[in-house]
Structure 1
Amino acid sequence: MCRLGACGLAFALLLLAGCADGPRWERDRLSEALPPFLAGCLALADPGLLAPACAEAARLPPGDETAARAFFIRHFEPSPAGEGLITGYYEPVLRVSPVPAPGFTAPLLGLVEAPDLPRATIEAAVAAGEWPGPVLAWADPVDAFFLQIQGSGRAVFPDGTERRLGYAGKNAQPYVPIGRLLIERGAMTREQVSMQSLRAWLHAAPPAEARALMDANPSWVFFRWRDDLPAAGGPAGTLGVPLTPGRSVAVDRAHVPLGLPVWIATRHPLTGAPMERLVMAQDTGGAIRGAARADLFWGWGEEAGLAAGRMRETGRIWVLRPR
């Protein structure tokens, strides 16, 4: 941790290169992190120790890199969370139907009061017409499965109408990664596992085998329509603000309070190039556990899905805590 007492007067040199064991600020454009930080400030009912930083952030000139660096260094102290797994997620765009139809057989469900049943039981209840909650739409089974993993999406109906789907809650069942199951069965190696490879496996497998693998993950996510969200913005994260592509992360809020800046140092999933940037803790996820764990939001659509699906990188994480 780069405390003033440890770095002395040379702490100001963080503007140029950072401490030996801290964020290298010069590797990123910190001015691009200010808008999502300020959006998070506005969402906090009680900013607490963030209040002085939030007040100053609102007065900073947009796009001023020097001012942004000085701001983050003045108000925050980097605290190392350690080395851990950094993954990615995105907002998928999927075709849906208002009624069951060929190719659209998987239900997207609204929240019910006691969602504690496992996936297979929920699906059986829907198929038997005994599910007590609302069915929002119907989708391809593989699309529906991965929509639940991402937690939000854009639903496109046959007439071209597009509506946003947002996370509403989940059942009380644990999340089981199907990639891990395929590795254990010898069907894939760890290096081969990505969202794209898992989707390809599910589409190529016999329907009953694909269904059995998906049902091995008993977790189920419920949705609600988010027609209040602007089409040009990201989905709403747990903090309540639209997520910013490349600048919002899901964290374990038992270790990282929502609204705090977080520095990640990892590799780009498509190019392998070093990727160091300041992001904002604005979301959570069922598979995000531990202090040194982050899930980077890449945006929406096919290109974002490609990066998010392949991102499974080791990285270092620092939480920027208010001074």
Structure 2
Amino acid sequence: MWFGRGDATGVHRSGRWWRAGLAVLIVACVVVPLSAAVRPEVPAPAPARVAPAAPLAVRYAAHRANAAEAARVAQAAGASRRAAALRELAAPERHFLEFDARGPGATAEVLGDPRTAERIAILVPGSDTSIDTYARFRRGALALHAKLGPRVAVVAWLGYATPGTVSTEAVTPDRARTGAAELRAFLDRLRAYGVPGRTPIALLCHSYGSVVCARAAHGLGEPGPQPRVTDIVLYGSPGTGYDRVAELRTRARVWAGRATHDWIADVPHARAQLLGVTVGFGPDPMSAAFGAHRFDAGDGSHSDYLEPGSTALDNLARIARGQTPEVPHA
């Protein structure tokens, strides 16, 4: 929340911003959003059927072949942009643990070898990420993997239908509920894909993806035979839907970072019930009251966290390696 300043002027100003912010959320929920316009769905084949314990080389080849077939189907349907994106995904060097070209698409592309990696970093994207925009998501994964080196595998996980930035779904938790269930299921499948038990995993969760990770956090980090989530990183987050870290009920370390020029800082950190729908995601994860470990995310914008040479990328890599990142300047 934006309340709590010690002077009357600050309280008045906070209340004004709260009312204005809530008005924006109400408008977002009653106005037909730009990104919700009806779009014809591009036809696509069903995902490749691969046995869970199949060798990774077999799995990778099957998903590349499926992407190539999906590209042919999309091209025949006149969806040239989708077809071009799918042809890139079908390239010989691409390695997908999971792939589905239907609808907005779902992928779990791995950089490095998850079977021998000392650690694994899983990127969870925010809004407006789909097969059509996947190239920009992958660029961030490539930059992170280059920074981490071969001992840490990186998974670009697009396992849920992300909301549009300008849409009702972007200010409500519905997509996050589905995404959290899919993320937990993916983590459970890693053993079948050859990832050794107890391999440390860091979830790096951007923007709306931080809402997904927060909902998936319950119980993660507990000792056991499954690969273990040691760190959950919320960056560029609009909030999580929870008031404090303790409510996530996880033994993983929870981190929060926000770049100084990220517009998400101006999003109202509030939560309200409107016509039975939860709108907004509550307190700012960067606030002391939320209780996350904060790290320095530099001076970039909302889309710059994984830019090569950036402070944010340096510190995200430190966390993924199990190291201590730099803290924000006072």
For normalisation by structure 2, the TM-score amounts to 0.28
Structure having the higher helix fraction is: 2
Larger radius of gyration: 1
- Higher relative contact order, chain-length normalized (CA < 8 Å, sep 6+): 1
Q: Which has the higher strand share?
A: 1
TM-score, with normalisation over the residues of structure 1? Answer: 0.29
